[in-house]
Amino acid sequence: MKDKLKSLKESALAQIHGAQHLEALNDVRVAFLGKKGELTSVLKSMKDVAPEDRPKIGQLVNEAREEIEKILEEKKVAFEKKLREEKMKLETIDVTLPAKKPMMGHRHPNTIALEEIQRIFIGMGYEVVEGPEVEYDYYNFEALNIPANHPAKDEQDTFYINKNIVLRTQTSSTQVHEMEKGKLPIRMIAPGRVYRSDEVDATHSPTFHQVEGLVIDKNVTFADLKGTLQQFAKEIFGEDTKVKFRPHHFPFTEPSAEMDVSCFKCGGKGCRFCKGEGWIEILGCGMVHPHVLEMSGIDPNEYVGFAFGVGLERIALLKYEIDDMRLLYENDVRFLKQF
C-alpha cells in the first residue's frame, strides 16, 4: 500500500511537471484527485486495510494529496503568470506610432481678414459696433441722404421685407444708429453682413460683408481721413503700399472719394492681378454730408466727420490672392485649410 501510494504520487508529480498548459493540469487533477481519481480510489479501498494500519495509511494518503495539491497550485500560478505576460506583450502599445490626426476646423479667410481689420482700427482707438441686418428703409436709405426717388436706390438692388423694411444693402445704416445715440465724439467700425439681389458669379453674391467706419469730432479734416486710410492700407497690404484717392460720389458724403492701393503683386507696374492698371480699388469714403449729421441730430456747425466702407470679401480675395468669390462660400475644408 505504502509503495503504491509512493508510485502514485511520483506519477502525479511527473505528469504535473510534464503538463504544457492549464487544461492538461486540470486533467491531472481529475485523474488523481477527482471523484473517480486514483488517489480517491485508494481511500475507497481502505476497507481492505487492516484496521490497525488504517490511521497510518490514511495519514499517508492525506500527505500525498496535500503534496499533489500544492504542486498543482504552484504550477497553475506559474501558468497564469505566463499567460498574463503573453497577453501583456500582445497588447503592448507602441507609443512611438504616429497618432491619427483629427480633422480640424479652420478660420475662414473672411474671419482672418476681419480680425486683422479690427486689430488695426482698435489700435487707432476705434470701437467695434454692430447694427441690425433687417433694417428700416429710413436707416438704410433716407437718413443717409438717399430719398425715395434717388437713383442710388436702384444701384443697390434691395431685398424688401415690406414697404418700410429691407435687408440692409450697406453697413452705412450703422452710422445712423451710432449718431442717433448722441454720444460724441464717435470713432467706430461696424462690420457686418449686407444683402443685394445680385446673381452669383466670381465677383458677386447676394450676401456679402462690409466694414463701415465713422469718425465724428470737432475739427476733423479730409487729411485725417487720408492719413487714417493710408495707415490702414499699409498695415493690411504691406509697408510699401501707396494709396490714391479718386473723386467719386456717394449721397451721404461730400466730398466723396474712392481709394485705390498700389498693386502689391507687381508694385504698380501693371500685371494680370491689377488688370494692367497698377492700382486696385478697395474702398469708398468721404466727409459725412452735413445733411446726414443734421438728420441724426448732430449740429454740422460744431461737428464734422469722415466715413468709409470696405468690402470684406474684396480684402480677403486680394490679400490671399483668391480669384473667385464663390470659393469663400462653399466652405470646402481643402480650400479653407490653406489659410
Residue 321 CB, nearest distance to ligand DAH (Å)?
A: 24
**Is the Cβ of residue 175 or residue 262 nearer to ligand DAH in the bound state?**
175
Residue 284 CB, nearest distance to ligand DAH (Å)?
A: 3
Give the whole-angstrom CA distance, residue 234 versus residue 212. 18
Distances (CA, A) of 300 to 88, 176, 257: 83, 14, 20
**Is the Cβ of residue 25 or residue 288 nearer to ligand DAH in the bound state?**
288
Do the beta carbons of residue 280 and residue 274 sit within 8 Å?
Answer: yes
Residue 144 CB, nearest distance to ligand DAH (Å)?
A: 8
Q: From the list 212, 293, 296, 314, which residue makes contact with ligand DAH (rule: CB under 6 A)?
A: 212
Q: Judging by beta carbons within 10 Å of its beta carbon (0-12, 13-18, 19+), is residue 180 exposed, middle or buried?
A: middle
**Is the Cβ of residue 68 or residue 229 nearer to ligand DAH in the bound state?**
229
Position 170 contacts ligand DAH (CB under 6 A): yes
Where in 19-117 does DSSP place strands (E)? none
Residue 95 CB, nearest distance to ligand DAH (Å)?
A: 57
Residue 287 CB, nearest distance to ligand DAH (Å)?
A: 8
**Is the Cβ of residue 135 or residue 212 nearer to ligand DAH in the bound state?**
212
Q: Within 286-315, which residues bind ligand DAH (CB under 6 A)? A: 286, 307-309
Nearest-5° angle of CA 189, CA 192, CA 195? 135
Distances (CA, A) of 299 to 40, 119, 176, 179, 259: 117, 31, 14, 11, 28
Q: Judging by beta carbons within 10 Å of its beta carbon (0-12, 13-18, 19+), is residue 135 exposed, middle or buried?
A: buried
Position 285 contacts ligand DAH (CB under 6 A): yes
Position 126 contacts ligand DAH (CB under 6 A): no
Position 137 contacts ligand DAH (CB under 6 A): no
Position 232 contacts ligand DAH (CB under 6 A): no
Q: Judging by beta carbons within 10 Å of its beta carbon (0-12, 13-18, 19+), is residue 332 exposed, middle or buried?
A: exposed
**Is the Cβ of residue 174 or residue 241 nearer to ligand DAH in the bound state?**
174
Share in percent of the chain as helix, strand, coil (round to 5): 45, 20, 35
The dihedral through the CA atoms of 309, 315, 317, 321 has a sign that is positive
Residue 307 CB, nearest distance to ligand DAH (Å)?
A: 3
Q: Which stretch binds ligand DAH (CB under 6 A): 77-85, 114-122, 185-193, 278-286?
A: 278-286
Position 253 contacts ligand DAH (CB under 6 A): yes
Residue 214 CB, nearest distance to ligand DAH (Å)?
A: 7
Report residue 136 CA to chain centroid gap: 35
End-to-end CA distance of the chain: 92
Position 228 contacts ligand DAH (CB under 6 A): no
Residue whose C-alpha cell reads 486683422 in the numeric block:
116
Helix (H, G, I), strand (E, B) or coil at 41: helix
Position 260 contacts ligand DAH (CB under 6 A): no
Position 172 contacts ligand DAH (CB under 6 A): yes
Interface contacts to ligand DAH, rule CB under 6 A: 170, 172, 212, 250, 253, 284-286, 307-309
